[in-house]
Amino acid sequence: MTKQLLTIILCWLSSFSFAQKSILWGNLKPGKHIVGFKVIQTYDLSRPFLPKQQEGILSGVPEGWKHKGRQVQISLWYPAQKVNSAKPIFFEHYIHLLSQIHQATGVDNKAKKLGWKMFLKNTKMLGGKQNSLKRLAKLGKINTQAYLNAPPKDEKHPLVLFPAGHPTAEISIMAEYLASKGYVVAGIPNLGITSTAPEISTVGLQAMAQDVLFTLGHLSGFQNVDRKKVAIIGNAFSSSIAATALLTNADIDALISLEGGLLSDFEQRMLKQQLNYEVASFDRPILAIYAPHPAIDPQKIAHLKYATRYFVHFPTMKEFHFLNYGSLEQQTPQIIGKTPKNVQQGYEWGCRYVYHFLNATLKKDSKSQQFLRNPPKTPKNLFQTHTQTALPAPPTIAQLKHLFTTQGMTGVEQTYQHLRHKDSSPFSLKYFDELFKWLGWSSRDNQWVFRDKLANMVLDSHPKSALSHYFKASVANAQKNTSIAKKHFKQALKCLDSDLSNYLSVGRRVRLRKYSQQALNTLTKSKKQN
């Protein structure tokens, strides 16, 4: 009897040890899952290995590494099986792993010291001027909620992709929280184009988004990953990396901007400069958590009208306090500078909103959907919410071509008019441009009848666009309607001075001006001769 009682007590103590919550979680309630953590060091063989670059200093590629492929360190948090006698890792484990982002040489004492130096440098860059290795040391000995290399549960879970500057030290608390709730979270470090130093540019965005999509492909074969349920999160500039990945891959179901630059003019301009940019491609739900910042404004994504946008504004929070620093602040005050009011509460509610948004969009959970519609009572003035409902998205260009082939221009016109009731410009300039060129190929519209109908639609949607008037003028010119052609060539030239469309590149504008002026001169000369 005594032996049986002892066994029961030991089992109870074992389960109790797994149920203990890390102090870094504050008032966040764990889900039902034990959290596993592992690092997957993999290489994209379609791209070259990146030499290390820090503070401008470029290192050479080590012997034997040149042809390994572009390094992608995946930090993975996931629902795990119970491991008897295991203990959760200390937070310093995440710090040590910073040394492996640029080159996976193994975590020896030298690498551990480098990890701490990188962590210290990051906190100082973000405002923690008083920090020192000694001041930060106590953070390293705090238990996390994760068990190293614990076997994953034999069941599929939604995947959350999370690009970040230094994932293990920046996103681990939220990642552990989500993993305990039944999500696989993959942290992907931000690297550059020709070196490990990230580049804040359109091309840099594309390179880092490709790392994210490589990670998606790599993890898709894992038995515990539900490839049919995928979301992506990004903080600061990483929110635009996330947006670029979503723009490129229609299999990503939702986007979260965690106090991200996605809501700024600067990053919107970079996104719009991408060749594959199309507003209609942003047709999946977006959660935008944001704090006061002179460059951040929800109106900056008002044009993403085909995505339902959930906005959560924290008036007393700061940008990087939605990363681990929002919780680490309680252990090391002013770790990244001046502390916002209610920083721990703000961080925790940010985590809760991320969780409920994921649950509502990926799992279609009714309770989480209700949470988004009617948030529970919270501390006064902690945050405010509002929602912008999506408009019906237009068909893709491929679908419109299919529609024309099967139903003729009547089918295209009916679709346009149906969407036009709620949407002033249901087809973008890119749509019209592609269809206009496609109709001109392979003798689909020898009499210019269909392109005339298309030109009327583009003028209806985009009356101030130089390209719209150029389309109409070109049709009229081909149909020998001189007066209409002259009118719209003149209007195209006039609009070029005020048309700010990102779709018109500098080269396209020059050609449009040249061709419009040449056509106008020819028409005027012809009239004089007659």
Mean pLDDT on 5-19 = 40
- For residues 70 and 65, give the distance between their C-alpha atoms in angstroms, rounded to a whole number: 10
Query: What confidence category does residue 530 fall into, taking pLDDT thresholds of 50, 70 and 90?
Result: low
Dig out the tokens for 19 from the structure.
Answer: 């149920």
**Which range among 102-111, 143-152, 292-301 shows the weakest confidence by mean pLDDT?**
102-111
- pLDDT attached to residue 527: 67
Dig out the tokens for 367 from the structure.
Answer: 């309770």
Which helix (H) or strand (E) segment holds residue 187: the answer is: strand 184-189
Mean pLDDT on 459-475 = 97
Name residues whose C-beta falls within 8 Å of residue 340's C-beta, 6 or more positions apart in sequence. Answer: 291, 316, 317, 318, 321, 346
- pLDDT attached to residue 318: 87
DSSP structure class, residue 60: P
DSSP of 361-413: HHS--HHHHHHHHSPPP-STTS-EEEEEPPPPPPPPHHHHHHHHHHHHHHHHH
Helical residues (DSSP H) of 50-105, grouped into ranges: 91-96
* Mean pLDDT for the chain overall: 93
For residues 212 and 245, is the Cβ–Cβ distance under 8 A? Answer: yes
Q: In percent, how much of the chain has pLDDT > 70?
A: 95
- CB atoms under 10 Å from CB of 238, counted, come to 29
Domain regions of the chain by residue span = 33-57+69-88+146-323+347-388, 397-529
> Could you identify the residue written with the tokens 């074992």?
14
- pLDDT attached to residue 142: 98
Burial 196-208 (b: 16+ CB within 10 A, else e): bbbbeebebbbbb
Q: By C-alpha distance, which of 28, 14, 10, 11 is closest to 145?
A: 28
Sheet containing 146-148: order of strands: 146-148, 34-44, 70-80, 184-189, 157-164, 225-236, 254-260, 286-290, 309-313, 384-388
- CB atoms under 10 Å from CB of 498, counted, come to 8
Span 41-50, pLDDT tens digits:
999 999 999 9
The domain 397-529: what is its CATH number? Answer: 1.25.40
Strand partners, 236: 260
Q: Phi and psi (nearest 5°) for 208?
A: -75, -35
Q: What is the dihedral of CA 264, 265, 271, 275, to 10 degrees?
A: 170
For residues 81 and 34, is the Cβ–Cβ distance under 8 A? Answer: yes
- For residues 257 and 368, give the distance between their C-alpha atoms in angstroms, rounded to a whole number: 18
Q: By C-alpha distance, which of 90, 267, 102 is closest to 189?
A: 102
- pLDDT attached to residue 501: 87
Residue 529 has pLDDT above 80, yes or no: no
Span 274-312, pLDDT tens digits:
989 999 999 999 999 999 999 999 999 999 999 999 999
- CB atoms under 10 Å from CB of 409, counted, come to 18
Kindly report the length of the chain: 530
Q: By C-alpha distance, which of 245, 79, 61, 60 is closest to 154?
A: 79
CA-atom Rg of the chain in angstroms: 27
What angle is formed at CA 193 by the lines to CA 173 and CA 503, rounded to 5 degrees? 95
Q: What is the dihedral of CA 234, 240, 241, 242, to 10 degrees?
A: 50
Residue 517 has pLDDT above 50, yes or no: yes
- pLDDT attached to residue 14: 39
Mean pLDDT on 34-57 = 94
3-state helix, strand, coil in the chain (%, to 5): 50, 15, 35
What is 33-57+69-88+146-323+347-388's CATH number, 3.40.50.1820, 3.40.50.2300, 3.40.50.920, 3.90.226.10?
3.40.50.1820
For residues 242 and 257, is the Cβ–Cβ distance under 8 A? Answer: yes
**Ranges assigned E (strand) in 254-383:** 254-260, 286-290, 309-313
Burial 37-73 (b: 16+ CB within 10 A, else e): bbbeebbbeebebbbbbeeeeeeeeeeebeebbbbbb
Name residues whose C-beta falls within 8 Å of residue 20's C-beta, 6 or more positions apart in sequence. Answer: 143
> Could you identify the residue written with the tokens 């903080």?
235
Which helix (H) or strand (E) segment holds residue 482: the answer is: helix 482-496
- pLDDT attached to residue 62: 84
Better-predicted residue by pLDDT, 339 or 475: 475
User: What's this model's pTM, rounded to 2 decimal places?
Assistant: 0.92
Query: What confidence category does residue 325 fall into, taking pLDDT thresholds of 50, 70 and 90?
Result: very high
* Amino acid letter for position 466: A
> Could you identify the residue written with the tokens 């949607």?
461
- For residues 522 and 266, give the distance between their C-alpha atoms in angstroms, rounded to a whole number: 42
Q: By C-alpha distance, which of 80, 89, 220, 242 is closest to 159?
A: 220
Burial 169-187 (b: 16+ CB within 10 A, else e): bbbbbbbbbbbbbbbbbbb
Which helix (H) or strand (E) segment holds residue 520: the answer is: helix 506-529
Span 391-428, pLDDT tens digits:
999 999 999 999 999 999 999 999 999 999 999 999 99
Burial of 24 (0-12, 13-18, 19+ CB in 10 A): buried
Query: Half-sphere exposure of 526 toward its Cβ, with a 13 Å CA cutoff?
Result: 13
